[in-house]
Structure 1
Amino acid sequence: MIRGFKNFLMRGDVITVAIGLVVALAFSTLVKAFTDFVINPLIAALQGGQSLGLGWQLGAAGNKATYLDIGSFISAIIYFIIFMAVVYFVIVVPYKAIQARRGITAFGDPAPTKACPACLSDDLPVAASKCKYCGTEQPVVSV
């Protein structure tokens, strides 16, 4: 059992995912710092010293626990968009290019499928002559 677990961990896919996760966490910290220390001060400067205050106080005045802070939510959305753009352009695009040079399609469009009229499973390859779930003969569909 331990040998099987070791073999699972040493597969290339698991190592690739682990490295991707570590890189993504590092970029997350970088993008968070960029948003907190560059974007937020620029927005504050554009406000001219006035606090925009995107939110509502739901409870007692001054209680941070009952303040509905929409501005922080918008900041988190901006952070997420920047983070996903960085991951896409720094990790996904180069990975796709490397895999294309190796003759492997990475992150490509899924193969076309058809539905079985008997069991209604919708993930059968178009060229399938039998349903892999119920065994029903499939009509030939031209692509």
Structure 2
Amino acid sequence: MLRGFRNFLMRGDVIVVAVGLIVALAFSTLIKAFTDYVINPVIARAQGGTSPGLGWQLGKPGNAATYLDIGAFVSALIYFVVFMAVVYFLIVLPYKRSQARRGVTVFGDPVPAKTCPACLADDVPKAAGKCRYCGTVQV
């Protein structure tokens, strides 16, 4: 039972989806900080309030809604970079090593591809004799 669960977890697509979700969560934090502390103050320029920090006051002094808080955005950016480094070094690299021992290549370089002159598909493998989409003979 545990062997089956381990095999399920070590499938490539499960790990890829997990890493994708983690990246999406971290990226959403970065986007939220950018909108909350950079975009929103520009939009709310006409309102009042107060907020100290690294940035510029766009409206009345003391107006938190019009404070361009660069410090919060830089903090979120640093968080994103550190979080992605942790994910890479603690999840991706050990998984790559584990799969390499099994003879499976994951998170590798993309396969060299060419563009089909007939249908303009740009993901036809270099060694392909025919396009997988339109069937045109490749030269």
Q: Which SS does the other structure have where 1:131 is aligned?
A: coil
TM-superposed CA distance for 1:58, in Å, is: 1.3
Q: Which SS does the other structure have where 2:122 is aligned?
A: coil
Aligned-residue CA RMSD in angstroms?
2.8
Q: Which SS does the other structure have where 2:68 is aligned?
A: strand
Structure 1 stretches of 5 or more lacking a match? 1-9, 29-51
How far apart are the structure 1 equivalents of 2:19 and 2:122?
Answer: 32
State whether residues 12 and 106 of structure 2, in contact with CA within 8 Å, keep that contact through their aligned partners in structure 1: no
Q: Does 1:129 align with 2:129?
A: yes
How far apart are the structure 2 equivalents of 1:15 and 1:70?
Answer: 37
TM-superposed CA distance for 1:19, in Å, is: 6.0
Matched AA of 1:115: T
Structure 2 vs 1, CA of residues 17 and 107 (structure 1 numbering), >3 Å: closer, same or farther? closer
Q: Which SS does the other structure have where 1:77 is aligned?
A: helix
Give aligned-pair identity as a percent: 62
Q: TM-score by structure 1 length?
A: 0.62
Q: TM-score by structure 2 length?
A: 0.64
Q: Which runs of 4+ in 1 moved over 3 A?
A: 10-22
Which residue in the other structure is 2:44 paired with? none
Structure 2 vs 1, CA of residues 15 and 107 (structure 1 numbering), >3 Å: closer, same or farther? closer
TM-superposed CA distance for 1:91, in Å, is: 0.5
Determine which structure has more spread, i.e. the larger CA radius of gyration.
1
Of structures 1 and 2, the one scoring higher in RCO (CA 8 A, sep 6+) is: 2
Structure 2 vs 1, CA of residues 95 and 116 (structure 1 numbering), >3 Å: closer, same or farther? same
Which residue in the other structure is 1:77 paired with? 77
Structure 2 stretches of 5 or more lacking a match? 1-7, 27-51
Structure 2 vs 1, CA of residues 112 and 14 (structure 1 numbering), >3 Å: closer, same or farther? closer
